[in-house]
Structure 1
Amino acid sequence: MKRKSFETDECPVARSLEAVGDAWSMLIVRQAFAGDRRFGEFQTSLGVAKNILTVRLRKLVALGVLEQVTPENGGAYHEYALTEKGRGLYLVLMAIRQWGEGCGGPADWVLVDRRDRKPVMPLAFYAHDGRELSVNDTELIPAEEVR
Structure 2
Amino acid sequence: MPDLVDAVIDLVKVEARRVRNGNTTAFPPLTVARTPPDCNTVTIALRRAPGQGLPTGLTIELGIEVMDDAAQAIAVHVCAWRGAISERPLDCEKIGAFKGVFIPAAISGLLENAMYIALDQAQSMAETDSNGLNLSELEAA
Q: Same fold (TM over 0.5)?
A: no
Hey, which of these two has a bigger chunk of helix by percent?
A: 1
TM-score with structure 2 setting the length: 0.24
Hey, which of these two has a bigger chunk of strand by percent?
A: 2
The one of the two structures with greater contact order (alpha-carbon pairs below 8 A, sep at least 6) is: 2
TM-score with structure 1 setting the length: 0.23
